[in-house]
A and B are shown apart, each in its own frame.
Chain A
Amino acid sequence: MFIAATLAILATMVLALVRAFVGPSVYDRILAVNAFGTKTVLLIAVLGYVTERPDFIDVALVYALINFVGTIAVMKFHKYSSLAGPPADRDDFADL
């Protein structure tokens, strides 16, 4: 059953990759890469059950966190052309 789940997740990963390559807009690609990352998390978790190594859950958790931060970084770079962001004005520091 886990093998079937793995194959199904791989199929959806291929679909996400196709969307990432075809585009057409940047947002399609970002969303496709984000979905691909989520599928990777699922794939790692399922593979942990297939190979009977529950340690893989830790790896999947790390991948989920990094995927989230990576998506934010790409979107910010797309919008502001810089990872440092727009220069902060004074009241931006008020809620520090």
Chain B
Amino acid sequence: MRHHSVLRASAKILIPPILLFALYVQFHGDFGPGGGFQAGVIFAVAFILYALVFGLEKARRVAPPAVTHSLSALGVMIYAGVGFENVLSGGNFLEYNVMAHEHHTAQHLGIFLVEMGVGITVCAVMITIFFSFAGRGR
């Protein structure tokens, strides 16, 4: 793909807006369409575009398997950690109300953390799936 300069330039221009839009979907998810899963997929699309245009080897340097594997576990840990924190604080699993004194603050904090966990895991798993499929050959 070395000689496709238009493709390379347009990919370089497009990757930052894609990442920014993923963050918008992530953090605006409670007011509009979106949420952790969608944001994770959009965030992963930026890495997939990078891998498509600049090659799998370079993309593996940007997102090494060790990092993506750890991140996919970290997201689940955040999700389950919020749930068990609520249990330890005297509520049910994922009952956000015990996380703060005020109802709205607690709900906001709980949803924010859980969606962040979902987003991190989905993004890391999508990147891992694409890299292993693309690296397998035909």
Contact = CB atoms under 8 A, between A and B. Distances in A.
A59 to B, nearest CB: 6
Contacts of A87: 57
Interface of B: 1-2, 7, 11, 14, 18, 21, 25, 32-34, 38, 42, 45, 48-49, 51-53, 55-58, 61, 130, 133-135, 137-138
In order of increasing CB-CB distance, the 3 nearest A-B pairs are A83-B134, A84-B56, A84-B134
A92 B57 CA distance: 11
A59 B35 CA distance: 12
B58 A88 contact: yes
B45 A72 contact: no
Interface of A: 55-56, 58-59, 61-62, 65-66, 68-69, 72-73, 76, 81-88, 92-93, 96
Contacts of A55: 32-33
Contact of A76 (B1, B2, B38, B42): B1
Nearest to B17: A65
Given A65-B18, A69-B48, A83 B133 contact: yes
A60 B12 CA distance: 21
B45 A69 contact: yes
B137 to A, nearest CB: 6
Given A58-B25, A58-B33, A85-B1, 17 more contacts: A58-B32, A58-B34, A61-B21, A69-B52, A72-B7, A72-B52, A76-B1, A82-B138, A83-B51, A83-B52, A83-B130, A84-B51, A84-B134, A85-B55, A85-B56, A86-B1, A87-B57
